[in-house]
A and B are shown apart, each in its own frame.
Chain A
Amino acid sequence: MLLAPISIDSDLLAYSRQEFAPPERKPVARQGASIVLQGLGKAYGARRVLHGVDLNLKAGEFVAVVGRSGCGKSTLLRAIAGIETADEGNTRVGNGAADASLRIMFQEPRLLPWKSVLQNVALGLPYGLGRAAAALSTVGLAERADDWPAELSGGQRQRVALARALVHEPNVLLLDEPLGALDALTRIEMQQLIESLWRQRGFTAVLVTHDVQEALALADRVLLVEDGRIALDLPVHLPRPRQRGDAAFAALEQRLLERLLQPATSKG
């Protein structure tokens, strides 16, 4: 039962690796949009969640946001998505000339249980069933198109949610801990899938996660959020695809973890 989707995934990844082989990413026509945050602040009642966050994300960049739970990293993402309105400061996605499209993937798949898998992917695309089918096959679930979401496993549901986000060919993909509830194996598969799709399509990706390894495996830059501020901005210059056992990887992981585990009082 678990074997079929895995083989489809690895086929897909093998194919994409050939085409976009390391050492350097092809400078294909990028569709990513830049994101600029200026002095972003947000409070829920008396509790301030974000303290004047300034941030510049380049188009096509993959940025991971890590931090303890409750540090404001999810709020930051939701403010970029426009789901949460900031109390102060402003957000600009893209250069403002064209309407940059932006899609968010939530921690839960949030599929509509009364629509088939294919109809879920085509949500918000009135005549988009053909494109939805294509998106579904990029995540390796073409043959499940007519099933109900309730019939899929957790990992498969998240893949459908990914297809649903990508069918709109967004300039920005926001990921709010989408892999948090998956088992370790499915999680690594999903990370590889997200990475390969990001390389093919070149959207700007912002991934909120509590998993330092996941952040380092995927991101060009890791931001550490602490008490509503960006406490650390760490570029990750490791060749892709990244090996988790690698010494440089381990060193970065160690550094991030140490910073995260510092008692909150001793921060600079």
Chain B
Amino acid sequence: MDWRKALAPWALPIALLLAWELAARIGWLSSRILPEPVAVAQAFWTLAISGELWAHLKTSLWRAASGFAIGAGAGLALGLLTGTWRQAETLLDTTLQMVRNIPALALIPLVILWFGIDETAKLFLLAVGVFFPVYLNTFHGIRSTDAGLVEMARSYGLRGWPLYREVILPAALPSILVGVRFSLGLVWVLLIVAETISAQAGIGYMTMNAREFLQTDVVLVGIMLYAVLGKLADMLARGLEKYYLRWNPAYR
């Protein structure tokens, strides 16, 4: 009973894979358009053994992690600032809301002019894209703290940093984690684009390079890797929610 429940979400993907394999074997699908799953698995295996795959993966993971750290860190810091102090909101929020409406990817020409085509440009793009979900949700979380709880904590003598640490921050945490989860999803989308512009390493580079040589199987390995990485990032975000929001029945 239990294993059935655990396997149920995988039934559809497995069925699709089987249908795909079958279609390729019969000859409905040409391998130039879509190679069979077995060929993709073989390409994965070859890349993994040669070590090429891991080098690309490492580069991409590093980019995603540092871009996320910079963008989400700045978003959290500014969100806390504008959420807590009205003056900071007055000064900064309008500007940030205007910038928010520019799609991060529209900045690509400018970013290339500013930073060239090396790592800085990619990190900048990732950081800008990741910044806003975290910023907006942090701001919202701080602002929607239950005033009754703050009033109670004040009447129990909590002021300043203890009040912030014990009441305001934990109250904003569910909202902050929503932003983090959204950003972790977004970071891969941005990474794909950033890596396909110009790169000498990374999964995006591997994929674009394979396209040049019509290696559809390697292209598919790259696409699958993004799917897996996206799923892993989502699991990480869920894990954070499960741990930090374990007091909340909705997350247990």
Contact = CB atoms under 8 A, between A and B. Distances in A.
Interface string B147-187: 01101111111100000001100110100000000000000
Contacts of A112: 149, 153, 166-167, 170
Given A123-B158, A124-B158, A148 B152 contact: no
Given A123-B156, A124-B156, A124-B157, A113 B248 contact: yes
Contacts, number: 46
A114 B244 CA distance: 9
B247 interface: yes
A81 interface: yes
Given A114-B247, A123-B166, A108 B148 contact: yes
A103 B158 contact: no
A150 B249 contact: yes
Contacts of A242: none
A93 interface: no
A254 to B, nearest CB: 36
B153 A123 contact: yes
B247 A106 contact: no
Interface residues of B, number: 20
A207 interface: no
B247 A113 contact: yes
A81 B155 contact: yes
B177 to A, nearest CB: 13
A83 to B, nearest CB: 6
Interface residues of A, number: 19
A150 B156 contact: no
- Kindly name the residue among A82, A106, A112, A148 whose own CB sees the greatest number of chain B CB atoms within 10 A: A112
Interface in A78-117: 81-83, 103-104, 106, 108, 110, 112-115
A103 B156 CA distance: 7
Contact of A114 (B151, B158, B170): B170
A1 B167 CA distance: 31
A196 B156 CA distance: 23
Contact of B152 (A82, A106, A115, A150): A106
Contacts of A168: 156
B91 to A, nearest CB: 29
Contact of A110 (B152, B158, B166, B249): B152
Nearest to A82: B155
A104 B154 CA distance: 11
A106 B148 contact: yes
Contacts of A124: 153, 156-158
Contacts of A148: 246-247
Nearest to A123: B156
Contacts of A108: 148
Given A110-B148, A123-B153, A123-B166, 18 more contacts: A81-B155, A83-B151, A83-B154, A103-B156, A106-B148, A106-B152, A112-B153, A112-B166, A114-B173, A114-B245, A114-B247, A115-B247, A123-B156, A123-B158, A124-B153, A148-B247, A150-B247, A150-B249
8 contacts: A83-B151, A83-B154, A108-B148, A112-B166, A112-B167, A148-B246, A150-B248, A150-B249
Interface of B: 148-149, 151-158, 166-167, 170-171, 173, 245-249
Q: Would you list the 4 A-B pairs with minimal beta carbon distance, nearest first?
A: A124-B156, A110-B152, A114-B170, A114-B247
